[in-house]
Amino acid sequence: MTIQQLFTNNKEWVKKQLHSDPYFFENLSKKQEPEFLYIGCSDSRVTAEELMGLHPGDVFVHRNIANLVPNTDLNSMSVINYAVNHLKVKHIIVCGHYGCGGIAAAMKQSDLGLLNPWLRNIRDVYRLHFKELEDISDQEARNRRLVELNVQEQCINIIKMAEIHKANQERQLIVYGWVFDIATGKLIDLKIDFESILKKITTVYKITP
């Protein structure tokens, strides 16, 4: 695959879109009004719109290694703030995936240089759920469970935010935790109990009246 081929692909994509809808790009250029904020992994095998059957303009996307949402990361915090306060999204989805390289790297006892502080967030998840994970003898099964627990903890990090509390009160915004199974192509709902988590943590993290 060459760079030039990508431009050729783009021309074919434009032609296809205009064939099905002559006003597609005209309408797309006016304004974005996505209902969903999707926070996923940067893995090249995991798309956002495609796996959910959505189209350009339907979802606001943020991706990084292992779909992390550290409360000290200005990048992800800014994305969430903009999506919630300005785009007025109705749903926030944190989506991990089995076979995640970031999860596997965090499980290794090795110095990975610049990646160390980022992967430490995953190792913190492992520490929080140490007993459960250590009781899983099969390494692949343990990694898969850590993928799920990592999604859960990132959802909790989002639920801690004041703008989430406010948006939930104003328009019932909800945070969801999913996992994408690359081997089957299926999305798995981890059934994060948003209301229960919100109720528990607001006693400590609630900022808004």
Please identify every residue annotated as catalytic. 41, 43, 45, 97, 100
Q: What is the DSSP letter of 54?
A: -
Q: What's the Cα-to-Cα distance from 161 to each of 59, 77, 166, 201, rounded to whole Å?
A: 21, 9, 9, 10
How many angstroms separate the CA atoms of 19 and 10, rounded? Answer: 14
Pairing of strands 174-181, 91-97: parallel
- Classified as helix, coil or strand, 104 is helix
Whose CA is closest to 68, among 39, 98, 30, 36? Answer: 39
Residues 6 or more apart in contact with residue 122 via CB below 8 angstroms: 66, 68, 102, 103, 106, 146, 150
